[in-house]
Amino acid sequence: MKSRRTLLVRTGHGSAGAASVPGLPELPPEAAQASARVLGAPAREALTPAPSPEETLRPPMPLDPPDLPPVAAAPLPEAVPVVLSVPAMPTEPPAVPAPSHPEAVSVTGSSPAFRPLFADAPGLNWAGPGDSWSDAWSMQAAPVQTPAALPEQEAPAAAPTAPTAAPDASAVELPLTARDIELIRASLAAVEPVADRATAHFYALLFLQHPEVRSLFPAAMDVQRDRLFRALLDAARGAEDPVALTAKLAGLGRGHRRYGTLTGHYAPVGECLVQALARYAGGRWDADTELAWRRAYRLISSIMIEAAEEAARTSPPWWQGEVVRHERRTRDIAVITVRPDQAYPYRAGQYTSLETPWWPRVWRHYSFATAPRPDGLLTFHVKAVQAGWVSNALVHRAAPGDVLRLGPAAGSMTVDHTAGPDLLCLGGGTGIAPIRALVEEAAEHGGSGRRVEVFYGARSAAELYDLDGLRELARLHPWLTVRPVLSGTGPAEGALTGELPEVVSRFGPWAGREAVLSGPPAMVRRGVGVLLRSGVPAERIRHDLVGDLAAG
């Protein structure tokens, strides 16, 4: 049964999942030839007619979601033939609504104006009857129906919680005070030891009282629960730096659009959050604490909503991207090239979030491995990690023709190449991807008189999969120096030995340099400490320590 379900979501090997959508340009000949060379297969194999169902079957994913119990399938009668095939796309997708805002105009003239909807390729935004992925395209879509708007007899019953007097609306409108921050932190400290139960209770309340939002979340909620509490802790800790907190919350608001989050979803989430905190904060919860949380949530939600609505005027909530090339560099590392359905703006050093058709509503972050290209193609370096649903799917299952979804570009690890001090780059494993993009971007600016020094670390020589490409760039550009570093066994020509941060410290001091770090979180944290001790000011050290970058 699992094999049937796996096959139904597959659109790879040149299927009609993307290429046959009207309005999507054909691949150039050189890209089509490169797409056929997957895992060393001859080009003719990718150009043959579609394989039979038996040929398309692949082994199941190495790990199944822990929260999904096996479903016993009833045996089929022998006389009933079982046909394993991908259902044909409906011939007429639903009508695409007209944009609710004026047509955007390119300000810089360097890229085409953003088109809010897939007017020329509506099929790419529709997966068939019952699909709700298209609903979030318009922020002016039908309002989300909450229990307050339902007929009285249909409103779901709320889970019992400790009764508290509703705070005065005018009091909630007041700005957050130092006393509010103190109360919020004290209540979070009380909830932290039982955070798993508190967040599970929050989602139970949310899905019971507002079942219409369940489809916005992944089937298995393990990672999602952890994210919620981490986000609350980050907001509480960052309350004393409103500028940084606002920037972070604005990014969250823009990023939540890819889930289909609408303005009407924020109020129900806030009510359920307050109820869950009231239950698990114990003696730390009183009327003043509840008022502080309501003020904080009003501030958080207003920043996120405003950022989302502003982003809706200039960019879609997500892009569709067809895999056009899949290269296995090692057993667990793949370089994947994606063709987005329309112009995708980003900077070298940034990352995006990807969703695969095999794990709906499960997103993971991956950095761009090249500077923006004239052909608009996007490249990612992906390592399959243990228990990594998305990474294993991208490395071991994805193939040319598969269609992914991409969120907007994010991240602050960008560099101004027109001026500034010499650049020091530390890249560990697939963390070399954004470093490679920054080097390419520097080359486009002619080096700008600054030197760029790259330390590229891995455990084994085989994992230095991009070393030849970097050395070729160093041969073409005298301002670039590349130093491979091995922390494990196995020889590599010209490689230094030792842990990457410690090797970098041997070449210090690095005072006066600007530094970027990318790789496993432990390596990045140790690298930051080494650079600080080597004289690099904290404001000149850039990294994006996003937990999901390594979550798989």
* pLDDT value at residue 104: 37
* pLDDT value at residue 447: 64
Domain end residue (candidates: 411, 433, 467):
411
Indicate whether 229 and 205 sit together in one domain: yes
* Sign, Cα dihedral of 455, 461, 465, 467: positive
* Tens digit of each residue's pLDDT (9 = 90 or more) over 45-89: 333 344 443 343 344 444 444 444 444 444 444 444 444 344 454
Helices 287-312, 266-280: crossing angle, 10 deg rounding: 150
Residue 153 pLDDT > 90, yes or no?
no
Q: How confident is the model at residue 493 (pLDDT cuts 50, 70, 90)?
A: confident
* pLDDT value at residue 146: 34
Domain end residue (candidates: 411, 433, 466):
411
Indicate whether 348 and 278 sit together in one domain: no
Higher-pLDDT residue of 428 and 140 is 428
* Tens digit of each residue's pLDDT (9 = 90 or more) over 170-186: 667 667 888 999 999 99
Q: How confident is the model at residue 479 (pLDDT cuts 50, 70, 90)?
A: very high
Q: For the ranges 80-89, 318-327, 415-424, which has the lowest average pLDDT?
A: 80-89
Q: How confident is the model at residue 448 (pLDDT cuts 50, 70, 90)?
A: low
* pLDDT value at residue 360: 86
CA distance 133 to 144: 15
Query: Quick check: is 115 in a domain?
Result: no
Q: How confident is the model at residue 39 (pLDDT cuts 50, 70, 90)?
A: very low
* pLDDT value at residue 126: 32
In 58-175, where does DSSP find H-type helix?
169-172
Distances (CA, A) of 373 to 111, 126, 359: 12, 28, 29
Q: For the ranges 17-26, 384-393, 421-430, which has the lowest average pLDDT?
A: 17-26
* Tens digit of each residue's pLDDT (9 = 90 or more) over 200-212: 899 899 999 999 8
Query: Which strands sit side by side in the sheet containing 452-458, from one edge to the other?
Result: 496-497, 480-486, 452-458, 423-428, 514-518, 541-542
Indicate whether 397 and 432 sit together in one domain: no
* pLDDT value at residue 537: 92
The domain tally of the chain equals 3
Q: For the ranges 5-14, 177-186, 308-317, 362-371, which has the lowest average pLDDT?
A: 5-14
* pLDDT value at residue 499: 93
Average pLDDT, the chain: 74
Domain holding 177, by residue range, is 163-312
Could you check whether the bond before residue 509 is cis, i.e. omega within 30 degrees of 0? yes
Query: Quick check: is 127 in a domain?
Result: no
Indicate whether 338 and 429 sit together in one domain: no
Higher-pLDDT residue of 130 and 472 is 472
Residue 288 pLDDT > 80, yes or no?
yes
Indicate whether 291 and 205 sit together in one domain: yes
Residue 263 pLDDT > 80, yes or no?
yes
* pLDDT value at residue 186: 92
**Percent of the chain whose pLDDT exceeds 70:** 64
Question: Is 20 strand, coil or helix?
Answer: coil
Higher-pLDDT residue of 56 and 262 is 262
Indicate whether 280 and 328 sit together in one domain: no
* pLDDT value at residue 154: 36
Indicate whether 167 and 264 sit together in one domain: yes
Q: What is the CATH number of the domain that holds 198?
A: 1.10.490.10
Higher-pLDDT residue of 291 and 259 is 291
Query: Quick check: is 137 in a domain?
Result: no
**Mean pLDDT of the region 33-45:** 38
* pLDDT value at residue 228: 67
Query: Quick check: is 542 in a domain?
Result: yes
Q: For the ranges 44-53, 343-352, 367-376, 518-527, which has the lowest average pLDDT?
A: 44-53
Query: Quick check: is 325 in a domain?
Result: yes
Question: Is 388 strand, coil or helix?
Answer: coil
Number of other residues whose CB lies within 10 A of the CB of residue 105 = 8
In 352-450, where does DSSP find H-type helix?
389-396, 432-444
Higher-pLDDT residue of 154 and 261 is 261
Query: Quick check: is 124 in a domain?
Result: no
Indicate whether 186 and 284 sit together in one domain: yes
Indicate whether 242 and 357 sit together in one domain: no
Indicate whether 297 and 322 sit together in one domain: no
Angle at 330 (CA atoms; ends 432, 383), nearest 5 degrees:
50
* pLDDT value at residue 429: 94
* pLDDT value at residue 242: 81
Q: How confident is the model at residue 370 (pLDDT cuts 50, 70, 90)?
A: very high
Indicate whether 406 and 432 sit together in one domain: no
**Percent of the chain whose pLDDT exceeds 90:** 41
Residue 515 pLDDT > 80, yes or no?
yes
Higher-pLDDT residue of 468 and 111 is 468
CA distance 222 to 256: 18
Residue 502 pLDDT > 70, yes or no?
yes
* pLDDT value at residue 494: 80
Rg (CA), the chain: 25
Indicate whether 308 and 328 sit together in one domain: no
Higher-pLDDT residue of 137 and 270 is 270
In 445-498, where does DSSP find H-type helix?
467-476
Domain end residue (candidates: 411, 442, 474):
411
Q: What is the CATH number of the domain that holds 378?
A: 2.40.30.10
* pLDDT value at residue 169: 62
Residue 282 pLDDT > 60, yes or no?
yes
